[in-house]
């Protein structure tokens, strides 16, 4: 409850259809520090029949980029986002012989270290006001770029899941 007196009024325009979407992978490879590979998608407004966030093709491109950067096969532990489990995504996964996918249980954000990335990012943005979508996008990208230089942060997010995700 706020202090007595006049209420704060926050004016909101009809620009609620714009959004910044993010997708990321925490990558673990023997002999290397954990890595964060991510993509940011800026949606500037409505277009009939177009998905606002990441599509299956966008996720496939992220996985392809991770495969190129890591230079090795990928074992992916994924949540059950509808795009992750769609028929189209299953076909895209089947076409990538270097990719093995395991699904997390239906609602288990505590087992997904990427949820910690989003939580950390959101907390770092909590008290900031940006006046445009471009400013917000730039800030999100800057914050995400900093995370890989804090390997203990990423290691901590992995440890917090309790899954023991380690490379032999």
Instruction: State the total domains in the chain.
Output: 1
Would the pLDDT of 68 be above 90?
yes
Structure tokens that stand for 126 in this block: 């909590």
Q: Please report whether residue 29 resides in a domain.
A: yes
Q: Please report whether residue 1 resides in a domain.
A: no
**Helices (H), ranges, 84-132:** 87-94, 113-125
Which pLDDT tens digit goes with each residue over 17-53? 677 889 999 888 878 888 889 998 877 666 666 667 8
Instruction: Kindly tell me the burial class for residue 27, based on how many C-beta atoms sit within 10 Å of its own C-beta (0-12, 13-18, 19 or more).
Output: buried
Would the pLDDT of 168 be above 50?
no
pLDDT at 106 (0 to 100): 84
pLDDT at 159 (0 to 100): 86
Question: CB atoms < 10 A from the CB of 74, how many?
Answer: 17
Average pLDDT over residues 113-129: 85
Would the pLDDT of 102 be above 60?
yes
Q: What is the CATH number of the domain that holds 134?
A: 3.30.420.10
Average pLDDT over residues 52-75: 91
Q: Please report whether residue 117 resides in a domain.
A: yes
- Residue 147's domain spans which residues? 20-161
At a CB cut-off of 8 Å and minimum separation 6, what does 112 contact?
77, 79, 104, 161
Q: Would you place residue 15 in the very low, low, confident or very high pLDDT band (cuts 50, 70, 90)?
A: low
pLDDT at 138 (0 to 100): 87
Q: Would you place residue 64 in the very low, low, confident or very high pLDDT band (cuts 50, 70, 90)?
A: very high
At a CB cut-off of 8 Å and minimum separation 6, what does 14 contact?
none
CA distance 122 to 124: 5
Helix, strand, coil abundance in the chain, percent, nearest 5: 40, 15, 45
Q: Please report whether residue 96 resides in a domain.
A: yes
Beta strands in 59-150 (DSSP E): 74-78, 99-103
Q: Tell me if 72 sits within 8 A of 29, measured CB to CB.
A: yes
């Amino acid at each position: 409850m706020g202090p007595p007196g006049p209420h704060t009024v926050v004016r909101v325009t009809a620009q609620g259809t714009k959004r910044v979407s993010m997708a990321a992978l925490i990558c673990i490879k023997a002999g290397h520090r954990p890595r964060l590979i991510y993509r940011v998608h800026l949606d500037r407004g409505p277009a009939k029949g177009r998905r606002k966030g990441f599509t299956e093709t966008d996720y496939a491109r992220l996985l392809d980029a991770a495969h190129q950067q890591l230079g090795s096969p990928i074992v992916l532990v994924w949540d059950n986002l509808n795009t992750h489990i769609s028929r189209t995504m299953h076909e895209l996964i089947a076409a990538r012989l270097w990719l093995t996918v395991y699904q997390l249980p239906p609602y288990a954000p505590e087992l997904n270290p990427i949820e910690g990335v989003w939580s950390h990012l959101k907390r770092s943005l909590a008290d900031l006001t940006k006046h445009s979508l471009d400013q917000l996008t730039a800030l999100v990208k800057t914050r995400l770029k900093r995370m890989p230089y804090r390997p203990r942060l990423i290691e901590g997010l992995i440890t917090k899941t309790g899954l023991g995700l380690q490379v032999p």
